């Protein structure tokens, strides 16, 4: 996924529910945090590594990042430093198993806004997030935030979508579903994850609605370029380009023409 334009932090404002990016390589813990945040009215994206967090922070445009300190590639402190170095002032709440005073000071000095040690109560985490968002200064106006993948571009602020130079009209739900797929480009998302992320908590339908809206998106997007929303059988969906399998050995050429038949009138040699 490519971020077309830069961004600075924005609050929930006209964009609807506040967006929270959860970054933790422990999938179970990350899912538990996401499950606690969605019923509280937040939109959630998840990352499992530092580099993926930086990519999603730019594309998903979160209002707050819940960031584990210990990550498999870039640690959370380095992720926070890199965000701050680019002028991104999105609030960061660190999660860590380290509970010494020095560890807390290091996290705050790296640019963190709060620090919560493991194990923790999910209720306390949600309360801390609310507190950080309340005391965060009012958002600044920004020039726009766009996400792009291949020839697909989505503008979060103006809620417009293009394939190449052609604008594609989407309904509100189609836009939210595509935005979540795009924010998690390359990642396989289950139908339940998509339902929880896009539809309101009080929605009483089933995951079948996800399949219906995926088909709506395909009808609108696929005529204008290669298919981008792939079905992962038995799991869910992923926004990615389908790779053409490589052939083993040389590609066969056209068949050789048959040799000319001998002219019966020609003398034999």
Residue 141, pLDDT score: 38
User: Domain locations in the chain?
Assistant: 7-135, 146-239
Average pLDDT value for residue range 94-117: 82
Residue 265, pLDDT score: 52
Range of lowest pLDDT (15-29, 95-109, 189-203, 253-267): 253-267
Domain 146-239 in the same topology as domain 7-135: no
C-alpha span between 4 and 120 (Å, rounded):
37
* Helix, strand, or coil (residue 96): strand
Which CATH number is 7-135 given? 3.40.50.2300
Q: What is the pTM of this model?
A: 0.56
As given in the structure block, the two tokens for residue 263 are 């002219």
Residue 37, pLDDT score: 92
Average pLDDT value for residue range 262-267: 52
Is the CATH number of domain 146-239 1.10.10.10? yes
Residue 140, pLDDT score: 42
Residue 183, pLDDT score: 81
Residue 6, pLDDT score: 34
Residue 12, pLDDT score: 38
- What would the DSSP string read from start to end of 201-244? TT----THHHHHHHHHHHHHHGGGSS--EEEETTTEEEE-PPPP
Average pLDDT value for residue range 182-202: 84
Helical H segments across 38-121, by residue range: 50-60, 76-85, 101-109
Residue 98, pLDDT score: 77
Confidence of residue 263 (pLDDT cuts 50, 70, 90): low
């Amino acid at each position: 996924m490519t971020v077309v334009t830069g961004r600075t932090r924005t609050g929930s404002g006209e964009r609807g529910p506040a967006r929270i990016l959860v970054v933790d390589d422990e999938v179970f813990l990350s899912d538990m945090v996401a499950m606690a945040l969605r019923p509280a009215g937040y939109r959630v994206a998840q990352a499992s590594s530092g580099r993926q967090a930086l990519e999603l922070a730019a594309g998903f445009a979160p209002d707050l990042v819940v960031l584990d300190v210990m990550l498999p590639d870039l640690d959370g402190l380095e992720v926070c430093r890199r965000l701050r170095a680019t002028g991104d002032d999105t609030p960061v709440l660190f999660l860590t198993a380290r509970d010494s005073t020095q560890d807390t000071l290091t996290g705050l000095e790296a640019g963190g806004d709060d620090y919560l040690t493991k194990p923790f109560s999910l209720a306390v985490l949600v309360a801390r997030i609310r507190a950080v968002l309340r005391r965060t200064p009012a958002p600044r106006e920004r020039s726009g935030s766009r996400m792009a993948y291949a020839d697909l571009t989505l503008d979060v602020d103006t809620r417009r979508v293009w394939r190449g130079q052609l604008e594609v009209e989407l309904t509100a739900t189609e836009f939210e579903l595509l935005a979540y797929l795009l924010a998690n480009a390359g990642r396989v998302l289950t139908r339940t994850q998509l339902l929880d992320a896009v539809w309101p908590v009080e929605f009483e339908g089933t995951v079948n609605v996800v399949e219906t809206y995926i088909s709506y998106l395909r009808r609108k997007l696929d005529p204008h370029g290669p298919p981008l929303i792939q079905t992962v059988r038995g799991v869910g969906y992923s926004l990615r380009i389908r790779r053409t399998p490589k052939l083993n050995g040389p590609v066969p050429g056209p068949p050789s023409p048959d040799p000319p038949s001998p002219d019966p009138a020609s003398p034999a040699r």
